[in-house]
Each structure stands twice: as structure tokens, then as C-alpha cells.
Amino acid sequence: MKNTVVVGAQWGDEGKAKITDLLAEKADFIIRYQGGCNAGHTVVANGQTYKFHLIPSGTLYENKICFIGAGTVVLPEYFEQETRELISQGVNLSGLRVSPLATITMPYHTEVDGYSEDNAQKGKIGTTKKGIGPTYTDKYARIALKIQDLYNLETLNEKLDIILPLKNKQLTEVYGMEQYSREKVLALCEKYAEIFRPYVWFDWQKGLEDAKNEGKTVLFEGAQGVMLDVDYGTYPFVTSSNPIGGGAAVGSGYGPKMIDEVIGVAKAYVTRVGEGPFVSELANETGHKIQTIGHEFGVTTGRPRRCGWFDAVTMRYAVLVGGLTSVALTKIDVFDTFEEINVCIAYRDTRDGKVYETYPTDVFMHKYLEPVYETHKGWCQDLTGIRDYDALPENAKKYIERLEELLGVGISIVSVGPDREQTIFR
Ligand code: GDP
Ligand code: IMO
Ligand code: MG
């Protein structure tokens, strides 16, 4: 297998974890490169369902290194809970490693995230309230704590000299919250040091170098999706990191030359959780049908996911900015009982009739756009037992091949159910 990045090609929850788990079998090294426990990743294998948030979805195989890279943000209590749950399911975490450079989400980050969401009059984003935005804000403001700081009291105190006065001024004056005393933060850090101790990989440079020299296969696991990317997504209705393929070169510790291919994972339709524009959204019975059959409820927050038809306009954009070299199409089985299936091939401006085939990046104007659809005949057949592309009904193949034509890249994997086995490789 080539060194591969798995990227969400829509607004997250595309089935990345299923694809990562599948590809992980042939990889030696799996690296999560951005995001935090805002992610909710599901793998169904061996008759069990496993839920991951921070820990790479390749963890189910033995003898792999699963690395949480420097580009991630980690919420210690959540990390601890996740490791506990996976161990109780019989998962062996001896290959799990955490970068000393990963950024720590402190309780004040989650508090600020919750406060901002609950008090937003306008511009509510609908975040997961896991402190993602405030943690990345502090990281880029250069006032965040890294995991390595937990093991050096002198560094920690020196950093707190800078962080605490700024943070406390902000917490009290902007948010009307309680201050954090040095004693309180040091006590938290002591606890966090113990949580991460079995997993911190101080020797990561040698580990990555050895893997490179020995020609080990690396799988880079993205969280969220291209349309939630902080630079290229539907800003400001996005997350605060870079899920795009290029993000792997930043957040993993390996440069771009290490990447051979980028697989974009996309559902046969589109879902979105939280606020923000969604031109092909179906706020009707059909949307509800997709939501019900597809079990479209968030893994992390339990919120219902908004559903709509496949949007080839955003997806073509995702192919470009996400650096996708091929696509894994998931959840096509959700359409098994649909007599007709629409694909959004362009947007039309309701004000002047102007048609957009290229994604318009000013998302505040999307309220004026309506989808232009192309209608496909359904296959009205159960696809969940099919394992061979040629055995798919003609209408399913036509749908897949039309999407390839619209996107300009091949669909290399078709997923027909949540289980690891329910997959067609082409
Ligand atoms: P991720 O965040 O991209 O890893 O995706 P999630 O785990 O949040 O959501 C995807 C959901 O769809 C999970 O419940 C998966 O078990 C399920 N799933 C993945 N692929 C398929 C598929 O091909 N068909 C069906 N019916 N479900 C799938
Ligand atoms: P996975 O990896 C779907 C969405 C939130 C919100 C926006 C910002 O499972 O695909 P944040 O908490 O990141 O500041 O929220 O991004 N969001 C996701 N939506 N799947 C995810 O992850 C998401 N992670 C964040 O709903 O709209
Ligand atoms: Mg998810």
C-alpha cells in the first residue's frame, strides 16, 4: 500500500473511520493529524461497534503504531475516558502514542466554547463544545500548553507566568468567569501528566525516521471534512483546523513528499451537523427519510444531522482544495428503497438566475442559491450483501460512474454497509 491520507470530503461524518480501519490493515503506522474530540468515528468489525474521538481508528489491529500528532488538540479527561472504554472492549492500546507537541485543551477552553455558543445572538456555529476553537486560538496566539510541558515544572511555571495574567483578564473581563489560580492549574497539570504518561512519545523523531528509512507504510487519518476546513470550508461555520489533505503534512511530523495519495471519503448524499449554509439540504420528508435510514445522528453530541442530496459543486471544490486523488463513496445502501435520486450539479442564484458550476466561496450569499438537480433512477434493491462491483445493479453503477464524471476523479472504494466486510474495492 502507498502512504495514504484519508480525508472527509464533505462536512464530516462521511465514514472516514470505516475506511481508515479498512486501510489500516495494510499500514504500519497510523497518524491522526488534526482536530480533537470534536470528532466521532465509528468502526463496526467482528460483531462490535467501536467509537473513537481522538484515538486513531486504526487501533483495532495489533502491531501498529497509532500516533496522535502535533496538529491535534487533546482534552485529557476525554482521552482518559476513551482509552478506558476501548480497553474495556478488549482493544490493545500498546501501540498508542501521543505527540509531546500536541496542544492541551484546558477546562477554560471548554467553558469559553460553551459560553460563546450559548450566548451567541448572531453567528452561532453549533460547535461540539469540546473547546476546539478556544484551544486552537490559544495555540496560534502562542499561549497554549503542550503535552511536553506537563513533565517539566520549570517550563510549566515560566509559561504560566505569561499565560495566566492574560487568560484571567480575558476570562473575567470578557466572559465574566472565575479566575484560574496557579495552584489550580498546576494540580490539573499533575493529573494530566499521569493520564498521558503511558502514551507520550518523547522518542517520536527517531520513531518517524526509522519508519521512513525502513519503508514502513503510513496512513494519515483526517477528522472533520474539507468543507469544515478553517481556510477552505464554509467559514466561519467551520472547525478551527485543517482537515484537507495538506493538513497531514503539517500535523503529522512528515512532510508532503511522504504522501502518495489522498482518498476523499464522501457519502452518496450529504449531511451536516451544526449551523452553516447547505444548498442541497432537504428540510422535508425526503431529508427525514435519509436521516432515518442512514441513522444520521452525531457520534459525539447525538445531534440529528441535516441531510440533503449529493452536491457535486462542493465536492468538485473538495477534490481541488482537499488534494483528493480518489474517492471512497459510502452509504450508497441508504438509497436502496429510493425510486429517484437527485444530484446537485450547479447552483442557481434566485435573484438573477445566474448559474454557478464553480463553488462560490462567499457563503453569506448562499441563502440566495438554489440547487440545480439532475435526476437518476434508483435501483430498488438491497446492496448490503454485494461485494463485487460487477454484481451491482446497472442503475447503481450509472450513479457511481456519473459521480466520477462530475468529480473528475475515480471512485476506488464503494461502501454498502457499516461493517468492515460490506465494502467493494474496484
Ligand atoms: P466519520 O466521522 O467520518 O468516521 O463517520 P461517523 O462514524 O461519524 O459516521 C458514519 C456512520 O455511518 C457510522 O455510524 C458508520 O458505522 C456508518 N457507515 C459507514 N459506512 C457506511 C455504509 O456504507 N453504509 C451504512 N449504512 N452505514 C455506514
Ligand atoms: P468527524 O471527524 C461533523 C462541526 C460542528 C460545528 C463545527 C465546529 O466525526 O467527521 P467544533 O467543535 O469543531 O468547533 O465545531 O464543526 N464538526 C463536525 N461535524 N463531524 C465532525 O467530526 C465534526 N467536528 C466538528 O458540528 O458545526
Ligand atoms: Mg463522525
Question: 159-185 pLDDT, tens per residue?
Answer: 999 999 999 999 999 999 999 999 999
148's enclosing H/E stretch is none
Integer Cα distance of 25 and 126 in angstroms: 35
Count other C-beta atoms under 10 Å from residue 98's C-beta. Answer: 25
Count other C-beta atoms under 10 Å from residue 353's C-beta. Answer: 7
Backbone CA torsion sign across 256, 262, 267, 268: positive
Instruction: Ligand 2, residue 129: give the atom nearest the CA.
Output: 12
Q: How far is the CA of 296 from the centre of ligand 2 (A)?
A: 14
Integer Cα distance of 343 and 266 in angstroms: 13
Q: Place 122 in a pLDDT band, splitting at 50, 70 and 90.
A: confident
The mean predicted confidence, pLDDT, of the chain is 97
Q: Using one digit for the tens of pLDDT, what is the confidence trace for 224-265?
A: 999 999 999 999 999 999 999 999 999 999 999 999 999 999
Instruction: Ligand 2, residue 41: give the atom nearest the CA.
Output: 9
The three-state secondary structure class of 167 is: helix
Rounded percentage of the chain residues whose pLDDT exceeds 70? 100
The three-state secondary structure class of 402 is: helix
49's enclosing H/E stretch is strand 48-52
Residue 277 CB less than 6 A away from ligand 2: no
- Cα distances (angstroms) measured from residue 27 to each of 1, 30, 296, 328: 7, 7, 30, 17
> Nearest ligand, CA of residue 330?
1
pLDDT at 414 over 90: yes
Integer Cα distance of 111 and 89 in angstroms: 31
Count other C-beta atoms under 10 Å from residue 60's C-beta. Answer: 23
- DSSP β-bridge partners for residue 309: 269
Domains, the chain, ordered by start:
4-101+199-263 (3.40.440.10), 103-196 (1.10.300.10), 266-425 (3.90.170.10)
> For atom 21 of ligand 1, which residue has the closest CA?
418
Cβ proximity of 364 and 401 under 8 Å = no
**Residues marked as catalytic:** 13, 41
Q: How far is the CA of 159 from the centre of ligand 2 (A)?
A: 30
Backbone CA torsion sign across 321, 323, 329, 330: negative
Q: Place 194 in a pLDDT band, splitting at 50, 70 and 90.
A: very high
AA identity, residue 294: G
Integer Cα distance of 104 and 150 in angstroms: 10
Integer Cα distance of 6 and 108 in angstroms: 32
Integer Cα distance of 116 and 398 in angstroms: 46
The reported pTM is 0.97
Q: Using one digit for the tens of pLDDT, what is the confidence trace for 310-325?
A: 999 999 999 999 999 9
Rounded percentage of the chain residues whose pLDDT exceeds 90? 97
Q: Using one digit for the tens of pLDDT, what is the confidence trace for 258-308?
A: 999 999 999 999 999 999 999 999 999 999 999 999 999 988 788 899 999
Q: Grid coordinates representing 168? A: 484571567
Q: Using one digit for the tens of pLDDT, what is the confidence trace for 344-372?
A: 999 999 999 999 999 999 999 999 999 99
Kindly write down the DSSP assignment for every residue of 77-132, as one continuous string: HHHHHHHHHHHHTT---TTEEE-TTSEEPPHHHHHHHHHHHHH-SS------SSSH
* Section 113-136 average pLDDT: 94
Q: How far is the CA of 9 from the centre of ligand 2 (A)?
A: 13
* Section 327-332 average pLDDT: 98
